[in-house]
Chains A and B, each alone.
Chain A
Amino acid sequence: DVKVTQSSRYLVKRTGEKVFLECVQDMDHENMFWYRQDPGLGLRLIYFSYDVKMKEKGDIPEGYSVSREKKERFSLILESASTNQTSMYLCASSSPHGGRNTEAFFGQGTRLTVV
């Protein structure tokens, strides 16, 4: 069974803390994504990685950075957490090949609350 695993389901952090959200996939996918999900705003892309050490900014990268040192792991970093970063964060992975393998697989999400 294919899996994208996010390290935490729920996190509560204080304003100003540095926060790490971890994501691991076991499908040998080249592409990995971090999305933020907010009511009425859908899934907004924060960062995208298409290979180890390669990354591309999404629509809302401000206040975030990412790290991809190994193919299976993609980390989202909140450099200095703020209350407006309270949200559901979703990691996904996919393979850049045609056919069924184009499917993006999602993790279960991390609900982050910044107080």
Chain B
Amino acid sequence: QQQVKQSPQSLIVQKGGIPIINCAYENTAFDYFPWYQQFPGKGPALLIAIRPDVSEKKEGRFTISFNKSAKQFSLHIMDSQPGDSATYFCAAVSTSGTYKYIFGTGTRLKVLA
């Protein structure tokens, strides 16, 4: 019940394409859903996050779609660029407890020039 399932494991798109990464969770106590971006040799860094009181959040070219009833959320990258090539992790947090982060297994994205 603590797991966060992430797919796909890897993704290759052409420049300008819209990669979509999906995550699903079981524990309804989760109420904060961040996405982290990791470049080679670096630690993950927060990209965008959403709380379940909204169904969508946009920040620049990055959009999170959230489906509370299905317990699923996804990351869309509009007009993807080669510089977006990185590993992306979704996470789920219960903010009523100790704020422990549970991460998905990661998606390695490659955007071709």
Of B58-66, B73-81, B94-102, which stretch is located at the interface?
A: B94-102
**Chain A residues whose C-beta falls within 8 Å of the C-beta of B6 in the assembled complex:** 42
**Chain B residues whose C-beta falls within 8 Å of the C-beta of A103 in the assembled complex:** 34, 46, 49
Answer whether residue B111 sits at the interface, using C-beta atoms and an 8 A cutoff.
no
**Chain B residues whose C-beta falls within 8 Å of the C-beta of A94 in the assembled complex:** 99, 101
Identify which of residues 11-45 in chain B touch chain A, using a CB-to-CB cut-off of 8 Å: 32, 34, 36, 41-45
Contact, CB under 8 Å: B44 / A102: no
Count chain A CB atoms within 10 A of each CB in B36, B43, B49, B101 and give the residue with the most: B43
**Chain A residues whose C-beta falls within 8 Å of the C-beta of B93 in the assembled complex:** 102
* Given A42-B89, A43-B89, A43-B106, A106-B45 contact (CB < 8 Å): yes
Answer whether residue A4 sits at the interface, using C-beta atoms and an 8 A cutoff.
yes
Contact, CB under 8 Å: A56 / B100: yes
Contact, CB under 8 Å: A102 / B45: no
The distance from the CB of B34 to the nearest CB of chain A, in whole angstroms, is 7
For A42, the closest partner residue in chain B by CB is B105
Q: Which of B91, B99, B103 contacts A96 (CB 8 A)?
A: B99
**Chain A residues whose C-beta falls within 8 Å of the C-beta of B41 in the assembled complex:** 108-109
The distance from the CB of B109 to the nearest CB of chain A, in whole angstroms, is 14
Q: What is the CA–CA distance of A109 and B38 in the complex, to the nearest angstrom?
A: 11
The distance from the CB of A78 to the nearest CB of chain B, in whole angstroms, is 20
Q: What is the CA–CA distance of A58 and B100 in the complex, to the nearest angstrom?
A: 9
Could you jot down 16 A-B contacts, CB within 8 Å?
A31-B98, A31-B99, A33-B101, A42-B106, A43-B44, A43-B106, A50-B99, A90-B44, A94-B99, A96-B95, A96-B99, A103-B49, A104-B34, A107-B43, A108-B41, A108-B43
Interface residues in chain B, defined as those with a beta carbon under 8 Å from any beta carbon in chain A? 2, 6, 9, 32, 34, 36, 41-46, 49, 89, 91, 93, 95, 98-106
